[in-house]
Structure 1
Amino acid sequence: MPVDLIIDGYNLLHSAGLARATYGPGDLQRARHRLLIRLTSRLTPDEILRTVVVFDAADVAAGDEREEQFRKLRVVYSPPGQEADDVIEELIARHAAPKQLMVVSSDNRLIRAIRRRKGISSTSEAFLDELDKPRRHVVVPEVEPEIDPSPLDAEAVDAWLKEFGMAPDTRVQSIPSHTSAPKPEEPSPVDADRDKGCLPATDESSLLAELEEELRRCLDEN
């Protein structure tokens, strides 16, 4: 079941190694910024919406906003005269379902406060270890669509032709197989002889007769 998170900002900042012994102008703000970037880059979108980070506001001017959004992550600064621990205890006390609430802090005061309401406590070190674990993603294999190998009947073909704006009579006719193709006619003997460059026997006899007659005529004239 999803839980809400309340994070002790500066406690987590120290555990993450972002804190310093002394801060120059803007250093503390930059350290908070780096921590918030780390949180929003590791938490899921749903977890971000269910999380609030509470900081002490020692460096926040009295007139500045005490609450802001950082990439949809709720960030709260303690009001004047209060510490972050005071704000977190109030949030624990007002939570409607404390058994679904986790407080991230190594501060014994806050650990006792959440346990009194039967909620969940996590030290900053344990939370960071869990935060930095690689998230698992479920890979759904792609399923190849099944293709029906059976041919379409004439009615289905006509329906598809109408869908593409073609007349049903434009269907491609089936091509006859090579087994049903008509056999070519065999050439006649005369055609075969003509293709070979020689005349049939009947034509040769008449030609010889004409030559003999022409030869006799020449002899008679001489």
Structure 2
Amino acid sequence: MSDAAQPTAAEVRAAAEAVKTALDRHLAAVERRSGEDDPAVYEAFNELAAAAETYDELLYERHDEVTPFEIPGGEEALPPYAGPEEPNSLSVLIRRDYSVVDQQRLLAQAERIEAADGDVGAGEETAGTVHGALGVLFGEYEPDEIASRHKEFGLEEGDSTLWVTAADEPAEPGEWLEAPFDQVDPQQVVCRFDVSAVFDDDADDLDDDLDDEIEDVIGLDGDEDLEPLDAER
């Protein structure tokens, strides 16, 4: 970035003041909270997250420095909530990714389901293909049961996310069935919950970094492993 495009020192200072103000508002909202899911606390949290992100960016652009703050993953990916304060309708959107890691197990399970239903004649056409077997599986079991038993069906879990969105009024019957996920407004998302192996990788990286630091302090050369303390010594 050129010097002309860099933020001024005054802009960085103003961003820092905005963070201080947002901190005060967040604390005040927490102290006045009316319940566990108080929308005022969510709003103050999002405002604080946005202010901290802006300050962090300007600080880096101007001074090549960063803050030690990190906003939890799900919230920082969403814009500030702008939905109704007292929603009369909720929508729950769920995405779960799977990999087919054992086709034979999947096909066998689908054939067993069709045999139990007495539809043996159509088994070879339906359960005999991977996409047909998946249709049989998801037609027989609820998504939550598949999630808890995925290994039985030859599947491996990937990332998953759950979004709760708010609205003033419920949708009309059949209104969104042709395109159920096309009209999701991120500003209507009350909360979201994400599961990903990347979070585990981050934790493992932190553990590895900590081990490296400990080894440096106690003088290990990297080829020796840390051993647990013997409680009897």
TM-score (norm 2): 0.20
Higher helix share: 2
Q: Which has the higher contact order (CA 8 A, sep 6+)?
A: 2
TM-score by length of 1: 0.21
